[in-house]
Amino acid sequence: ARVVAGFEERAAKDHITVSADIERGLHVLADPLALDVILRNLLENALAAVAPVGGGTVTFSGRRAGSEVELSVRDSGVGFRPADAARLFQKFTRLHPGGGGSHFGTGLGLYIVRRMMQLAGGRVSAQSAGIGQGATFVLAWPAGEHGEARSPAASGGSEPLARAPVRRE
């Protein structure tokens, strides 16, 4: 909810309604700084996708799904062809090269999201029914209990996510 609140002013300027529907009591096993970066990248991407449409909605939701927590960002923006879903997470990929109105990017945001999710032991996926149909990005993390910390043991013996080295691909 805090991350969503940080985007409300910008969204209002672009005539975008941002809402959050988050189940109470959700906890994920993730570094808080990494979680913040992941969510900010997804919301930034969603706002950029909706801006060219001339307004719309971005909905952030979270729920428990078995042993995982699923967080999703759904937008009513420009969407993408379903065949392009996997390409979205590659370095420097921009399916809509003119940016979203006044919002420009490098094509690294979704690559960073995917990489950070991998390091956290989670996953990310993207769906769209096609151009002009909006998009949904779903994150899935191992669920944690309140107060449970992300420790080296929880991440398979690696360093905490915020200091984990990033391998070159």
Q: What is the pLDDT of residue 97?
A: 54
Which of 58 and 163 is assigned the larger pLDDT?
58
For 46-105, write each residue's pLDDT tens digit.
Answer: 998 998 888 899 998 999 999 999 999 999 999 999 999 989 999 987 776 554 444 556
- For the chain, what percent of residues have pLDDT higher than 90? 47
Question: Residue range 128-146: average pLDDT?
Answer: 90
Mean pLDDT score of the chain: 81
Q: Which of 25-39, 96-110, 121-135 has the lowest mean pLDDT?
A: 96-110
- Taking the C-alpha atoms of residue 7 and residue 5, their distance in angstroms, rounded to an integer, is 5
Torsion (CA) 154, 155, 160, 166 in degrees, nearest 10: 180
Q: What is the pLDDT of residue 158?
A: 37
Residue 153 has pLDDT above 70, yes or no: no
The pTM assigned to this predicted structure is 0.80
Buried b (16+ CB within 10 A) or exposed e, 74-101: bbbbbbbeeeebeebbeeeebbeeeebe
Find tokens 């360093």 and name the residue: 159
